[in-house]
Amino acid sequence: MTLDNLNKGETALILKVNAPQALKARLNSFGIAKDATVYLQEVTLAKNTIELCINKTKVALRISEASKIEVEKC
């Protein structure tokens, strides 16, 4: 399952980030890395952006970026 498949209010554990090195480094700087727990807080009306909560930090991601992150529901 990927991060873009989560529903609002669900929590998941990141298993793998399948992205180019530049994007992976950017995501890692936000705390989006293997074994991190994320909470899907909001999905925009157009369904093109999601808002995550990671370690008390809010991060907005495009759906195209979220589709590259493999997760497992908690």
| pLDDT tens for the 74 residues of the chain, in order | 999 999 999 999 999 999 999 999 999 999 999 999 999 999 998 889 999 999 889 999 999 999 999 999 99
Range of the domain at 13: 3-73
As for how many domains the chain has, the answer is 1
Asked whether the beta carbons of 31 and 54 are under 8 A apart, the reply is yes
Give SS3 for 51. strand
Q: Is the pTM of this model over 0.85?
A: yes
State the CATH number of the domain containing residue 22. 2.30.30.90
Q: DSSP assignment, residue 7?
A: P
Calpha distance 11→29 (Å, rounded): 20
